[in-house]
């Protein structure tokens, strides 16, 4: 065979040893980029494990505080809090109770950690409504967009007053970020409370286990009239740009792995800090396959979370946050 006219590329030179590979690795995942979702439930005496999200529980206030300490010690400094109230009603009014379950959790964690933890609160109603939808219903059973926004604004202000650093509207109502931002500003929180906007959230079958944990499965119908259609990418970018224009500080794409193209496009289009939510169903699948001996949990989980970062996410929200942080050591 004739010699090549020029040296052939030899990328394998840099794959020869683990040290070389680490030296040229383009993407790093470090514990401070991980966000742990946590559930706190009112009126239970002991934490209740969630069978479909292995390793995750509905917490009491005390067990939440213990879990937060462990996470912080492992290097996870950002927590995303979901509250499950003892009583639900059609409006979801516990969401803005100043002594509601999430407000009390924020105060307790702030007491324990001062500013060493970033506390993010879910600002939605589905955990709080008796029908399980993300906003109040009209007589025909559809969600009233603007009434939902008004309720989110009240909830966001009460979460900010309790000490949340970031509020995270996840309901996919039109205009929710602008309405919340204005309410926070009017209540004196222009400078101390940021908004992490679920700008591009798909109507996904991957949320199943979460609905067990948050007790928020819709009693009828589904969320397709407010969450996005899984076939749409351009619309996902437009939603992100709209939320950026309304004052979002951090954007969020959800789910993560089936939508890594959206993660990439939203990051490119906005340049804003971006979170991707590796949701309950994605996490549960890794555990289920590993429990069958079909895949290696540790390697698959680590590769998955690194891939989410590589696609363009700055923050990775995952039920594996504590595990991953401890493994990264």
- Residues with catalytic roles: 201, 254
Only segment of 21-29, 105-113, 121-129, 153-161 that touches ligand PBG (CB under 6 A): 121-129
Span 224-263, contacts to ligand PBG by CB under 6 A: none
Alpha helices per DSSP H over 173-233: 176-186, 208-214
Please give the backbone phi and psi of residue 24, each rounded to the nearest 5 degrees, phi first: -110, 10
The CB-of-126 to ligand PBG minimum distance in angstroms stands at: 5
**What is the smallest separation between the CB atom of 210 and ligand PBG, expressed in angstroms?**
3
Half-sphere exposure of 161 (CA within 13 A, CB side): 14
**Rounded-to-10 torsion of CA 300, 303, 304, 305:** 130
Q: Which is nearer to ligand PBG, 25 or 219 (CB)?
A: 219
3-state secondary structure 287-328: HHHHHCCCCCHHHHHHHHHHHHHHHCCCEEEECCHHHHHHHH
Encoded one letter per residue, x for contact with ligand PBG by CB under 6 A and - for no contact, window 71-110 reads ----------------------------------------
Answer for which of 96, 152, 210, 259 binds ligand PBG (CB under 6 A) is: 210
Looking at the Cβ atoms of 211 and 310, the one nearer to ligand PBG is 211
* 279 binds ligand PBG per the rule CB under 6 A: yes
- Residue 170 C-beta: closest distance to ligand PBG, Å: 4
Alpha-carbon distances, residue 322 vs 88, 95, 318, 325 (angstroms): 31, 27, 9, 5
> Given candidates 126, 165, 239, 243, which one binds ligand PBG under the rule CB under 6 A?
126
Within a 13 Å sphere around the CA of 314, how many CA atoms are in the beta-carbon half? 14
Binding site for ligand PBG (CB under 6 A): 122, 124, 126, 134, 170, 207, 210-211, 223, 279-280
């Amino acid at each position: 065979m004739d010699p090549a006219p020029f040296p052939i590329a030899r990328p394998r030179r840099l794959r020869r040893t683990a040290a070389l590979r680490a030296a040229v690795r383009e993407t790093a995942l470090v514990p401070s980029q991980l966000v742990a979702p946590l559930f706190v439930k009112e009126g239970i005496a002991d934490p209740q494990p969630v069978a479909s999200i292995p390793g995750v529980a509905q917490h009491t206030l005390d067990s939440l505080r213990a879990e937060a300490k462990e996470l912080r010690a492992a290097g996870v400094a950002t927590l995303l809090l979901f509250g499950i109230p003892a009583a639900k009603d059609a409006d979801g009014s516990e969401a803005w109770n100043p002594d509601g379950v999430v407000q009390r959790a924020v105060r307790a964690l702030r007491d324990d950690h001062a500013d060493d933890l970033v506390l993010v609160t879910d600002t939605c109603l589905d955990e709080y409504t008796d029908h399980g939808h993300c906003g109040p219903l009209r007589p025909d059973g559809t969600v009233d967009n603007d009434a939902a926004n008004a309720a989110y604004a009240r909830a966001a202000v009460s979460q900010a007053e309790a000490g949340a650093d970031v509020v995270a509207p996840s309901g996919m109502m039109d205009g929710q970020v602008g309405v919340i931002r204005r309410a926070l500003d009017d209540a004196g929180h222009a400078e101390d409370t940021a908004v992490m906007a679920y700008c591009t959230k798909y109507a996904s079958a991957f949320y199943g286990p979460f609905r067990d944990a948050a007790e928020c499965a819709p009693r009828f119908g589904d969320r397709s009239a407010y969450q996005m259609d899984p076939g749409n990418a351009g619309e996902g970018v437009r939603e992100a740009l709209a939320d950026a224009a309304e004052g979002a500080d951090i954007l969020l794409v959800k789910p993560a792995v089936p939508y890594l193209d959206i993660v990439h496009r939203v990051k490119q289009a906005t340049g804003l800090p971006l979170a991707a939510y590796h949701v309950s169903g994605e996490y549960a699948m890794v555990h289920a396959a590993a429990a069958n001996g079909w895949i290696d949990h540790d390697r698959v989980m680590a590769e998955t979370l690194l891939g989410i970062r590589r696609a363009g996410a700055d923050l990775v929200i995952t039920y594996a946050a504590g595990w991953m942080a401890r493994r990264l050591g």
